[in-house]
Amino acid sequence: MKQLKIINVVGARPNFIKIAPIIEACKATKAITPILIHTGQHYSRKMSDLFFHQLGIPEPDINLGIGSASHAVQTAEIMKSFEPVLLKHKPDAAIVVGDVNSTIACALVTVKLGIKLVHVEAGLRSFDRSMPEEINRTLTDRISDLLFCTEKSAVNNLISEGVPEAKIFLVGNVMIDTLNKNRLRSQKSKIFNKLSLNGDNFAVLTLHRPSNVDDHNALGRILDALEIIQNDMLIVFPVHPRTLGNFTNTLKTRLRSMSRLIMCEPLGYLDFLKLLCKAKLVLTDSGGVQEETTVLNVPCLTLRDNTERPVTLEMGTNRLVGSDTKAIVKAYHLLMNTKAPRPRLPPLWDGKASNRIVKILLDRI
């Protein structure tokens, strides 16, 4: 069997979580040579080192070091830097994951050079074109040769868009591969000591979408709800300094005046996973966190009006609440006063998605 050379692209921290099990499964076959490219789209030396070490990912073979910029500039710079990499290594295929700017930028370069393109986490749709991620994932799907889906709704979306079924594979969720592998390890984390947490009477909050963190009216409504929730429990809020930097002085003052809101720097994967495992409630606008709480059976309020992961609403504990104060508080009280449903795992969310992906790569590339 020919030794396949496959380039794997990461650009932001959620990509690390998705690519780690794929690289591990590729190496286990001894039939695939994986090459790891970090575009540097979201880059912090401290956080990147932490994620790579904790997830057992080898150091990137190449770091493009692009950094932050506008969507257009960042996408263009990634394309300019990625093309020479493909021309030098001449891979059999390139794998892109998720829906960040690195995904679509590297996808376009790959296809234009006649190299096979593989999209992991394909077919997800929020049907909200105001989200840059929706544009990225939709366009990437249109030009990919192989499309690996996490849930049945994604398969249905692709078929309804006219994508040939021969390209589409329901394989499960590689993020859950990583979660299952590290769930026990995460319990050794010392994050509770660092944050002076005792017991499980706390919520975890994550915010990063522009519709929440750049819209100060929306953020104000969310803070109104948090003021009420903090009367019942502590709220742990890992916040990126750049996100905090976007807030007005009034909002910063208000955040810091909330006596039971614990703000901290972004956390490593194992620290954050331990918090998720032990939390009584999660409030988030992250797609990945919706999936993780589904598997962990932790109540989740998604601070958005839509989700590209409907299986978390159908089978998990996830509820869409938007940024309306009354809606958030109403859903919070309902969740806290309702017995959690029996855990139900979406089909193929069994920790073996990466093995299925690699088997298909060997069959089809």
DSSP per-residue string spanning 232-245: TSEEEEE--HHHHH
The answer to whether residue 119 is catalytic is no
Q: DSSP assignment of 168-219, as one string? A: EEE---HHHHHHHHHHHHHTT--HHHHHT--TT-EEEEE---HHHHT-HHHH
- Cβ partners under 8 Å of residue 249, min gap 6: none
Residue 290 has pLDDT above 90, yes or no: yes
Residue pLDDT, tens place only, 309-365: 999 999 988 999 999 999 999 999 998 888 777 778 999 999 999 999 999 999 999
Residue 1 has pLDDT above 70, yes or no: no
- The structure's pTM equals 0.94
Residue pLDDT, tens place only, 348-363: 999 999 999 999 999 9
Model confidence band, residue 163 (pLDDT cutoffs 50, 70, 90) = very high
The pLDDT assigned to 13 comes to 83
Model confidence band, residue 48 (pLDDT cutoffs 50, 70, 90) = low
What structural domains does the chain harbor?
A: 4-173+349-364 (3.40.50.2000), 188-336 (3.40.50.2000)
Least confident residue range of 111-115, 174-178, 236-240: 236-240
Least confident residue range of 43-57, 115-129, 189-203: 43-57
Catalytic residue among 42, 208, 240, 333: 208
